[in-house]
Amino acid sequence: MTATIRPDGALDVEQLVLPGQTAAPAGPVDPAGMYLMHHAFRRDLALFTAATAATPAGDQACWKRLQRRWALFSGALHKHHHGEDSGLWPLLLERTAGGEDAAILRAMAAEHEHIDPLLQACDAGFAGLAAGTASTAAARGLLAGHVTELRDRIEAHLAHEERDAMALVQAHLTQHDWERLDKEHFAPQYSPRDVPAVLAWVMHGLPPHAVRRIPGGPALRAIGGLLVRRFARAERRTFRYAAPAAGA
């Protein structure tokens, strides 16, 4: 990570920009971890959209793999939103003057609330197809519709967050604030047993410049590189009916 000093003496951190990302407002905070998670969410939503449209309703074994993989995605998304709702948005509300800034932050929380019912509908759809209790083309079509709607909502939310909410982060928070938020509201949600799976999940498909922004130092990134190879093999099997996307 590098930084530049503006003419007014303020520090601008080099911001991470990933495929599909809408914005990366300049400022003193390095939210690379946030953008890495957003990249993984976008990648997964594309995969699940393709898989739910193409996987035969009767292939119960594949639906079981998809359900397990969906649990990894939805669990990470839930933790991410919980950290924002419990820590990030309240802190920004304290620091901002209200008005338009407060409206942006209220919108962030409201968008999370609109996403939750769709997540629950998708949970139920994957469970039914995996259990074989809803192994019909109609059940698959219903799930595919829910996943597509969820993809559209989350992509709109991520774009809004990257463009407007992250601008508030850069205007009102410091790097120390950001690290404290991670320590108190995001990191504690993951147990040591969660870390290998989440590390491989985040690193899968990242361009080299983004891999270097994975926190934890070279040793952790090297371990992650080994885990990603196994993760990629599982991805090809799980998303076998969406092979072009899964191999990306």
Residue 160: closest CA among 72, 248, 87, 89: 89
pLDDT, tens digit, 9 for 90 and up, residues 187-197: 999 999 999 99
pLDDT at residue number 7: 45
Residue 11 β-bridge partners: 5
pLDDT, tens digit, 9 for 90 and up, residues 217-228: 899 999 999 999
Q: Average pLDDT over the chain, rounded to whole?
A: 93
Place of tokens 């303020």: 10
Q: What are phi and psi of 234, to 5 degrees?
A: -65, -35
pLDDT at residue number 97: 80
DSSP string, 185-240: IIGGGS-TTTHHHHHHHHHTT--HHHHTT-TTHHHHHHHHHHHHHHHHHHHHHHTG
Q: Does 237 have pLDDT greater than 60? A: yes
With a pLDDT cut of 70, the percent of the chain lying above it is: 94
pTM: 0.93
pLDDT, tens digit, 9 for 90 and up, residues 94-140: 999 889 999 999 999 999 999 999 999 999 999 999 999 998 999 99
Q: Does 3 have pLDDT greater than 90? A: no
CA 125 and chain centroid, separation: 21
Q: Does 1 have pLDDT greater than 60? A: no
What does the alpha-carbon distance between residue 42 and residue 210 come to, in Å, rounded to a whole number?
A: 15
Q: Kindly state the helix (H) or strand (E) to which residue 13 belongs, with its residue range.
A: strand 11-13
- Compute the 3-state secondary structure of the chain and give helix, strand, coil in percent, each to the nearest 5: 75, 0, 25
pLDDT, tens digit, 9 for 90 and up, residues 50-105: 999 999 999 999 999 999 999 999 999 999 999 999 999 999 999 998 899 999 99
The mean-pLDDT minimum among 10-24, 26-40, 109-123, 147-161 falls in 10-24
Instruction: Name the pLDDT band for 248 (thresholds 50, 70, 90).
Output: very low
What is the four-CA torsion angle of 91, 97, 99, 100, rounded to 10 degrees? -70
Q: Does 198 have pLDDT greater than 60? A: yes
